[in-house]
Amino acid sequence: MFSYLLYFNKNNIIEISKNIIQSFSEKFEYQLTKFDISGLEKIELKFVEEKLQKYMQSSIFLLPLDQINDSIKENNWVKEIYLNTNYKDTLFIRIEEYKPIGIYFFNEKYFVFDENGKIIDQIYITNLTDKSLLIFKGNSSNLNANSLINILKNYDFKKKFQIESLEFINKRRWDINLYSDVKLMLSEEDPNKSIQNFIIIQNKLSETDINNIKAYDLRNLKKTILINLND
């Protein structure tokens, strides 16, 4: 009984204290009336504003920052949130979003993922030839994509060749599928060297020869096999 009374009185005291603080804030204008939001790229401003509406006119000292944090984090693009106030009338919100590095094709759906392979959100692609992010296929391809992306960047590969997709074969090695219906079969041990070999061969071949090739088997780093259209 004593514990119940203590708990009941404690809650009453807390509620009374909140009412006093709220009244003080209303009288001397220490209420939330505006917010400053930064860091948005993929997240719509409207989403954040809607999460904050119910806190408007609340005492700046009573803002439940943890609750606000959790409600905004319901958006899949939110990586981190930093909240603080000016102890007068403004809530400052800085949002760090996940940065997508690729698109993961799985179960006939497309998902963007970050450098650690974390799935961020599902997306809808209407024009696969007009995209800034590469498409990755195969189990665990999202978890292993970052190293291959860095290799391709080193050779400015995306500007030189139109990549349709990159496929992780048996969770071991990569195939690069070009829009010209040409496949590059990379080495498991050293995909960087495979791409080097491909570029060297391309520079030696004539345009006619290139147009007749449907695949480059680059798995053997000492010997590249060219597979022609008629083979």
pLDDT digits (tens, 9 = 90+) for 20-71: 888 878 888 999 999 999 999 999 999 999 999 999 999 999 999 999 999 9
**SS3 at position 113:** strand
> Which part of the chain has CATH 3.40.50.11690?
102-228
Per-residue pLDDT tens digits of the chain, which is 231 residues long:
445 444 445 567 677 778 888 887 888 899 999 999 999 999 999 999 999 999 999 999 999 999 999 999 999 999 999 999 999 999 999 999 999 999 999 999 999 999 999 999 999 877 554 468 999 999 999 999 999 999 999 999 999 999 999 999 999 999 999 998 999 999 999 999 999 999 999 999 999 999 999 999 999 999 999 999 776
Edge-to-edge strand ranges of the sheet holding 173-178: 119-123, 109-113, 102-106, 134-137, 163-169, 173-178, 183-185, 213-217, 225-228
Of the candidate CATH numbers 3.40.50.11690, 3.40.140.10, 3.90.1150.10, 3.30.200.20, the domain formed by 102-228 belongs to: 3.40.50.11690
Instruction: Spell out the CATH class of 2-97.
Output: alpha beta
Burial class (CB in 10 A: 0-12, 13-18, 19+), 79: middle
List the beta bridge partners of residue 135: 103
> Which part of the chain has CATH 3.10.20.310?
2-97
pLDDT value of position 6? 43
